[in-house]
Amino acid sequence: MHVLAPFVKDLKSYTTADLRGDLQAGLTVSIFAVPQAMAYAMLAGIPPVYGLYAAIIMSIVAALWGHSPYVNTGPTNSAALLTASAILPFAHGEAAVGIVITLTLMVGVVRLLMGICRMGVLLDYVPESSFLGFTVGAGLLIALGQLHHMLGVSAPEAVWFPMKIWQTAWKVHELHPPALLISIVTMMFMLMFDRKARRFPLALVVIALAGAAAYWLHPTMPVRIVRDVAEIPRGLPAVVVPSLDLDTVFALAPAAVAIAIIGLIEAASIGQTLALRKGQQLDINQEFVGQGLSHIVGSFFQGLPGSGSFSRSLLIESTGGRTRYANVAFGVFTAIALLSVPKLLEWIPVSALAGLLVYIGVRLVDFARIRRVFATSRADAVIMLLTFLVTAFIRIEYGIFVGLAAAAVVHLHRTRELHMVEFVPQPDGRFREVPYEDGHDHPPSDIVVIGISGDLYYGISMLLRERLRSIIEQQQPKHLVLRVRRAYSIDYSCWSALFDVAEGFHRRGGRLYLCGIRPDYRRIIHQAGMSSILPDGQMFPATSSPFESFDLCLRTITGEMDAEARSRETCHDWSPRFPASGMGQEQSER
């Protein structure tokens, strides 16, 4: 019941104090969000009123069917940018609204399916460095993408972002000073009083002042206002049915998947952060369901794609929101604003909304985290830079996927390293773990003990086979001991490599021993028909004592050696073969 209607549980324990806190938070955030939602719609390339439609519907549906009591769902900067990129090949202005509605529905279906299939765990594989690179790239696109609105010049015709900036720069002679002044003042006020923005409706006040300035300047120096883009109708959004033209659906598919995944990362990050702050647990899959349903329903009410908003969600929590109904109240108050003051909203200068977006874009660039990435990991720095470059200079919807691919390549490269050490006996009876390195001198010895650790998977199977064969050829052992206690998993390719080496070594008269093996490893060896090459007498199971099977294996080998093998010469052959200093950390293993 709670999965189908999770809001029922909150109603059962809802109090008057909850109602007061939720109404206060919903009203406060609504005042902040009205100009922001309009700006995001403009950023997406459609009339500003559709940002309000999305904020109203999505916030209510996501709050009722999601899990976090604080995540505020609606238009966001990244979703708006991705939407703008997706609809570029199609029509613009009012004609683009139908394309955006279809995109919203597709995003909702993807998110809902991910929630139903319980795919929240997949977000664990998105590296923070990739998301940071995407965020920085999005910030650059937002800030510089508003340049023509700030200057008051006509929009560039180019699609490629660098070319758009170049074309805008060539139109500087068309500069409209009042528009530029309004943009700069808006941006400066937002930056100067940034610290007060969470407790005071700064954006609303600044936009209201800009509207008053536009009204005062209109008779002599008119500036472009929201009404010049599209009139804001009084009333709630009409119900429409999204188009499902197959050609359009296929063309929008990459953007829909990108918006769905990036939005889910944002929503899950916000919800998890606030849940930890409150000592709560977040059901990520239920949150996915809420995000999906909000977009499916929102598409029928002409909403554009969005996600959880960092700023609005934090504001819901910090201004007294106590349950999911704070976001329901937010949607209701936003609808009231649309019903009561649409004509006032039409006087907002487009250049003021552009200044607000530039402020938002600048805020997305977190220089402290960028420096931390460069200071801690070269690989993550490469992933971040690659994601940023693709996001900003190629196609924004490809940025996060390229970052994921780069992270996967880095991960495979890291895991492809074969962690192998040799246990070298010391005069006091202890052993030294020495990293086994190719190319070093490894004198012959009757007994060689090698430790292998990590995940043994197909990526290192060839290296494992070659390394073991090299040990046999170079050191000519009669007994080769492999300590696999730290081999956390072994796949088919690496088992095949071990079996090939064991068979070849057996034909030469040698014996391969495995110590520290798990019960399932012994079962695999039997099922593979390798018992004649690796009989039970050459397998020593792991015990609670880390080196018990290791000691038992060595005692078994020395007990089987003949008098000549236990003579002074053989002992000399089994002496340390590397300098004592600088070759590893001494271990008290016996």
Strands 431-435 and 585-587, sheet pairing: antiparallel
Confidence (pLDDT) at 585: 38
In which region does residue 424 sit, left (phi positive, over 0), alpha (psi from -120 to 50) or beta (all else)? beta
Confidence (pLDDT) at 199: 63
CATH architecture entry for 419-587: 2-Layer Sandwich (3.30)
Phi, psi values for residue 535, rounded to 5°? -70, 165
pLDDT tens, position by position, 276-315 = 667 778 888 999 999 999 999 999 999 999 998 877 887 7
Contact 207, 353 (CB under 8 A): yes
CA distance 571 to 569: 5
Report CA-CA distances (Å) from 355 to 144, 160, 359.
11, 22, 6
In which region does residue 516 sit, left (phi positive, over 0), alpha (psi from -120 to 50) or beta (all else)? left
Model-level pTM?
A: 0.69
Q: Coil, helix or strand for 586?
A: strand
**Average pLDDT, integer, range 58-71:** 94
Q: Coil, helix or strand for 453?
A: strand
Contact 321, 153 (CB under 8 A): no
Residues linked to residue 454 through DSSP beta bridges, in sequence order: 487
Q: Coil, helix or strand for 197?
A: coil
**Average pLDDT, integer, range 76-84:** 88
pLDDT tens, position by position, 369-394 = 899 999 999 999 999 999 999 988 88
Report CA-CA distances (Å) from 122 to 73, 103, 115, 383, 404.
21, 23, 11, 18, 12
Instruction: For residue 401, name the pLDDT band (cuts at 50, 70, 90).
Output: confident
Q: Coil, helix or strand for 209?
A: helix
Report CA-CA distances (Å) from 479 to 502, 553, 575.
11, 11, 15
Cα dihedral 83, 86, 89, 93, rounded to 10, equals: -10
Q: Which one-letter DSSP state was computed for residue 437?
A: -
CA distance 33 to 314: 13
**Average pLDDT, integer, range 190-216:** 80
DSSP string of 482-497?
EE-TTEEEE-HHHHHH
pLDDT tens, position by position, 407-452 = 888 887 777 788 899 888 777 767 788 888 877 777 788 889 999 9
pLDDT tens, position by position, 470-501 = 999 999 999 999 999 999 899 999 999 999 99
Report CA-CA distances (Å) from 507 to 388, 558, 584.
56, 21, 33
For 66-127, where are the alpha helices, taking DSSP H only? 77-87, 97-116
Strands 431-435 and 419-425, sheet pairing: antiparallel
Phi, psi values for residue 480, rounded to 5°? -115, 115
Q: Is the pLDDT of residue 586 over 70?
A: no
**Average pLDDT, integer, range 353-372:** 85
Contact 130, 404 (CB under 8 A): yes
The residues, ordered by sequence, that sit 6+ positions from 373 with a Cβ below 8 Å of its Cβ are 129, 132, 380, 381, 384
Q: Coil, helix or strand for 231?
A: coil
CA distance 589 to 103: 62
Confidence (pLDDT) at 104: 97
Q: Coil, helix or strand for 452?
A: strand
Per-position b or e across 397-412, b if 16+ CB within 10 A of its CB = bbbbbbbbebbeebee
Determine what percent of the chain is predicted with pLDDT higher than 90: 36
For 146-201, where are the alpha helices, taking DSSP H only? 147-151, 161-169, 177-192
For residue 55, which of 30, 79, 78, 77 has the smallest C-alpha distance? 30
For all residues of the chain together, what is the average pLDDT?
Answer: 85
**H or E element, residue 405:** helix 396-415
pLDDT tens, position by position, 326-355 = 999 999 999 998 898 888 888 888 898 888
Whats the size of the chain, residue-wise? 590
In which region does residue 584 sit, left (phi positive, over 0), alpha (psi from -120 to 50) or beta (all else)? left
Confidence (pLDDT) at 273: 64
Confidence (pLDDT) at 29: 84
Contact 130, 380 (CB under 8 A): no
Ordered by start, the domain boundaries in the chain are 17-232+251-410, 419-587
Instruction: For residue 7, name the pLDDT band (cuts at 50, 70, 90).
Output: confident
CA distance 410 to 106: 32
Q: Is the pLDDT of residue 189 over 60?
A: yes
Phi, psi values for residue 225, rounded to 5°? -120, 175
